[in-house]
A and B are shown apart, each in its own frame.
Chain A
Amino acid sequence: MSTRFASLDEVIAEFVRDGQTLALEGFTHLIPFAAAHEIIRQGRRDLHLVRMTPDLIYDQMIGMGCAHALTFSWGGNPGVGSLHRLRDAVEHAWPQPLQIHEHAHAGMAAAYTAGAARLPFGVLRGYLGTDLPHVNPQVRSVICPYTGEQLATVPALNPDVTIVHAQTADRQGNVRFDGIVGAQKEAALAAKTLIVTVERVVDSLGAAMNAIVLPSWVVSAIAVVPRGAYPSYAHGYYARDNAFYLRWDEIARARDTFRNWMQRHVLDCRDHAQFMQTLEAAA
């Protein structure tokens, strides 16, 4: 069975709806920025966003008013400091209130793993001595039937739509990931609908026998978007633009500089290629 290839705007228009639970995964690496920008352009609202590290991608979506809820486990600008738009939403309900469902990484990894396996919950020896269960009532516990030990549980995460970015797909739509893989595979298989953006299409994936490959028949649609993970990175294609992550701290600190940046580089651009051109022109 072949996966359907289409342009990113067509794929987002077809599969992403207001009010859905949406996971755009990728742990620091392969973050699907182009897909997020297209969701922002199409004005999707009332989303429940799920991601271990909201990163700049959700800072942008939250600041643009796409989300009413966020499930996450670490919400900073890695190595830089705050995500100012996330903070503004939590601290001042701008541009709208944001419900937060907060986890630790180990718990969220377990929740995706359970979701991928279609189990009702994930189990871990975790959340011990932390206040997190007091603020997230979804973190509960179970008694091990074999040892009597109390273990932490988290409900499975099964997003309506998961979007991931990968280096390559072949012409049948099999998708291959290389490098830091985070919880992409689990988030992908936990989803009801899986959308993938890739750097390029190849005749053969040339994947090692144990490489991470998502077969075409679990992928609903693929859009080819070169540099689609920028300003994060695609190992073997381009590096993480750490200078941009540093610069984002200034761009996103104030509401008007943020809005102006999003207007100029995202809303006023028809696609990701044009987005990249405006950044190169500004540099």
Chain B
Amino acid sequence: MNDSANTAYTADEMMTVAAARLLWPGCVCFVGIGVPSAAANLARLTHALDVVLIYESGTIGTKPDVLPLSIGDGELAETATVVVSLPEVFSYWLQAGRVDVGFLGAAQIDRYGNLNTTVVGDYAHPKTRLPGAGGAPEIACHARQTFVVLKQSTRSFVTTLDFRTSAGFLGGGNERKALGVNGTGPQVVITDLGVLKPAPHTNELTLTARYANTSVEQIKAAAGWPLAVAESVEIVPPPTQIELRALRDLNERTRRAHAQTRKMEMRT
């Protein structure tokens, strides 16, 4: 990792790279839009060439050259192994247990990895109405494990969710198992400040790693509850030149592709 020593990188880049490194060659990953999509494709372009990416639009084994803006861009269909219907992707593929990793984002997370993407404030009289569930509640249950990516602040790391859209470990301990779901839940939470994992038995999210330029104190201050910290907090190696170049190229291709209104050429 010496090649990164003199390279500047942003917190977002560090977060995306740290998330990408969690995927392994051949793993089947159900991908959400945003940082999860960037991280999953970065993995595919660097160390996990044959990772199988599934987007909920029914595109299975997709290999986009630019990041999709929406979950159903044409690029995803054109580069997929197969395109299936939406009822099929959720039933035959996700519910059937064929997904290794569900990659999710969220607006709010609590200490047991439960997620809110529905509403800030009261449901009936919301302060901020968020997009809602989409595929997340079932991804959170049926993927063998989930990775959650979000920026950490006292606004996103909250004591009590305004709405529980997707199950993590519910109230902790064995509560998730008692639900009867097959997936093992959020095994890693990656933020712009560090990495958290559920503690044995309690399943409370615990800080296990920070980045070279973040501190444990800073990370604790950015949580809405007294954050549990592992006895030994590792340091995630900074992005390598190869990772940074691949990510920046990907982002630049994506920016260019989305900035222009593509010509509407009629097929004759």
Contacts and interface: CB of A to CB of B under 8 A. Distances in A.
A233 B130 CA distance: 25
Interface in B219-268: 257-262, 264-267
Nearest to A86: B129
B181 A75 contact: no
Given A28-B70, A78-B72, A243-B258, A129 B179 contact: yes
B143 interface: no
B138 A105 contact: yes
Given A104-B133, A179-B83, A242 B73 contact: yes
A74 interface: yes
B131 interface: yes
Interface residues of B, number: 62
Contact of B131 (A76, A227, A238): A76
Contacts of A245: 69-70
B95 A125 contact: yes
Nearest to B68: A79
A282 to B, nearest CB: 11
A183 interface: yes
B74 interface: yes
Contacts of B83: 179-181
A162 interface: no
Nearest to B166: A130
Contacts of A79: 33-34, 68-71
Kindly name the residue among A73, A113, A235, A239 whose own CB sees the greatest number of chain B CB atoms within 10 A: A239
Nearest to B34: A79
Contacts of B118: 102, 131
Contacts of A112: 87
B156 to A, nearest CB: 16
A186 interface: yes
A126 interface: yes
Contacts of B164: 129-131
Interface string A226-244: 1100100101111111111
Nearest to A233: B74
Interface residues of A, number: 64
A72 to B, nearest CB: 7
Contact of B137 (A80, A127, A239): A127
Given A127-B137, A238-B264, A240-B74, A182 B129 contact: no
A269 interface: no
A235 B79 CA distance: 13
Given A76-B130, A235-B74, 20 more contacts: A27-B86, A73-B134, A75-B131, A82-B130, A86-B129, A90-B126, A104-B137, A104-B138, A106-B90, A109-B87, A125-B141, A129-B179, A130-B166, A179-B77, A180-B59, A182-B85, A183-B85, A230-B264, A245-B69, A246-B69
Interface of A: 27-29, 52-53, 72-76, 78-80, 82-83, 86-87, 90-91, 102-106, 109-110, 112-113, 124-132, 135, 149-150, 179-183, 185-186, 226-227, 230, 233, 235-246, 283
5 contacts: A52-B86, A75-B131, A76-B130, A76-B132, A105-B138
